[in-house]
Amino acid sequence: MADHDHIFKRTFRVPEHAAGELRAVLPPDLVRTLDFDSLELLQSDLVGQLLDERFSDALFQVKFRGRPGCLWVLLEHQSEPDRFMPLRLLEYLARSWVELRRREPGRKTLPPVVCVVVHHGQQGWTAPTQLQDLLGGMRDMPALIRLVPNFEIIVDDLTAQSDEALKSRPLGTFPRLVLWVLRDARTIGRFYAHLGAWAADLGRLANEAPEDAITVMRYILRVAGEESFERFRKKVVEAAPAAEATMMTMEEQILQRGRAEGKAEGKAEGKAEGKAEGKAEALLAVLDTRGVSLGLEERNRIASCKDASLLDRWLKLSASVKSSDELF
């Protein structure tokens, strides 16, 4: 989940990218009423920290064309269907409106909110999209429909989108590629099957924005399972030769990270061994002070022990044992 969340935030908290996605999925008659040049990300503290942790916090404000007021749009993502997504979003919206009233007590109206969920699960969206779909008895009692709250979320189900449909969206190369890898990268066979359709975009991104290309490549490797870097690199370079320099940079970064992790692991192991040696020396000193007789084999057993928890147990016992048999 963290990998999906990171690349989604990295991409779609940028107003330009968010605007392209919203133009593609909002109803056309609504798109015509909005001034997307005014789209801006609202303050991240508009809702409580607890709710921020559950959402990407991509809450945008966009002005209407030629009329006062604005629309709020929550742009969220889901890696799997969530049956209670409408309820979760309702909670977020209510908290946002309450906080807005607290900040602007003179307000007479609240901004309307549209919720867009970009879904990139492998099986497609199968959960309710309307709040009333979660309420029991609604079908049997039509009189309730106008008496209880309801709203509908827009689900951008990427699995249902063809390569051509995604490529035709009014988005730049980077956000288009992000939508593609969100859709395909978790199944490496599916990714390779569609690689040819996206090879030109990969090459273009590698030339124009190498760091963005590395972000895309790194995400693929992290979610693709046990795929080796060498095979992945070969496939990508064969399809998009322009990406070779990016792959070389990425390989060097992987090697540097591996060396750094190796050093850190070595230091940690060294510290652990040092602590164990200190505990072993303390244990031998206590036993010698108390006159507990130890043979050479028993001394070597204590001195060579690297299990800190075992040494701690022996240290506690050393204060009362009268022989090595009681200790061990």
Report DSSP state, residue 129. Answer: -
Q: Taking residues 119-129, what's their average pLDDT?
A: 94
How much is the pLDDT for 49? 43
CB 183 within 8 A of CB 219: no
DSSP string, 64-107: ETTSS-EEEEEEEEESS--TTHHHHHHHHHHHHHHHHHHH-TT-
List the structure tokens of 160: 């249902």
Q: Taking residues 251-266, what's their average pLDDT?
A: 50
Alpha-carbon gap, residue 13 to 2, rounded angstroms: 16
Does residue 26 surpass a pLDDT of 90?
A: yes
Query: What Cα–Cα distance (Å) separates residue 281 from each residue in 61, 78, 298, 305?
Result: 66, 55, 13, 11
Measured in whole angstroms, the distance separating CA 156 from the mean position of its chain's CA atoms is 18
Does residue 264 surpass a pLDDT of 50?
A: no
Does residue 257 surpass a pLDDT of 70?
A: no
Instruction: Between 107 and 280, name the one with better pLDDT.
Output: 107
Q: Taking residues 281-296, what's their average pLDDT?
A: 74
| Residue 271 banded pLDDT, cuts 50, 70, 90 | low
Does residue 166 surpass a pLDDT of 90?
A: yes
How much is the pLDDT for 262? 44
Does residue 274 surpass a pLDDT of 90?
A: no
Does residue 52 surpass a pLDDT of 70?
A: no
Nearest to 118 by CA among 62, 64, 149, 160: 160
How much is the pLDDT for 299? 78
Alpha-carbon gap, residue 231 to 225, rounded angstroms: 13
DSSP string, 275-310: HHHHHHHHHHHHHHHTT----HHHHHHHHT---HHH
Helix then strand count (H, E) for the chain reads 14, 5
Query: To the nearest whole number, what is the mean pLDDT of the chain?
Result: 84
List the structure tokens of 273: 């061994």
Lowest-confidence range among 30-39, 206-215, 280-289? 280-289
Does residue 313 surpass a pLDDT of 90?
A: no
| Residue 261 banded pLDDT, cuts 50, 70, 90 | very low
Instruction: Between 188 and 326, name the one with better pLDDT.
Output: 188
Angle of helix 244-289 versus helix 210-223 axis, rounded to 10? 60
Q: Taking residues 136-162, what's their average pLDDT?
A: 91
How much is the pLDDT for 191? 94
Residue 42, classed as helix, strand or coil, is coil
The letter for the amino acid at 4 is H
- Residues of the chain above pLDDT 70, percent: 86
Give residue limits of the domains in the chain. 1-133+145-160, 249-327
Alpha-carbon gap, residue 221 to 258, rounded angstroms: 15
- Residues of the chain above pLDDT 90, percent: 47
How much is the pLDDT for 266? 44
Q: Report the run of H or E that residue 157 belongs to, with start and end.
A: strand 154-157
Cα atoms found within 13 Å of the Cα of residue 165, Cβ hemisphere only: 10
pLDDT in tens, 202-244: 999 999 998 898 889 889 988 887 888 888 889 998 999 988 8
Does residue 296 surpass a pLDDT of 80?
A: no
Q: For the beta carbon of residue 91, count every other beta carbon within 10 angstroms.
A: 14
Does residue 29 surpass a pLDDT of 80?
A: yes
CB 119 within 8 A of CB 77: yes
Model-level pTM greater than 0.75? no
Burial class of residue 38 in the structure, from the number of CB atoms within 10 Å of its CB (0-12 exposed, 13-18 middle, 19+ buried): middle
Lowest-confidence range among 4-8, 50-54, 223-227? 50-54
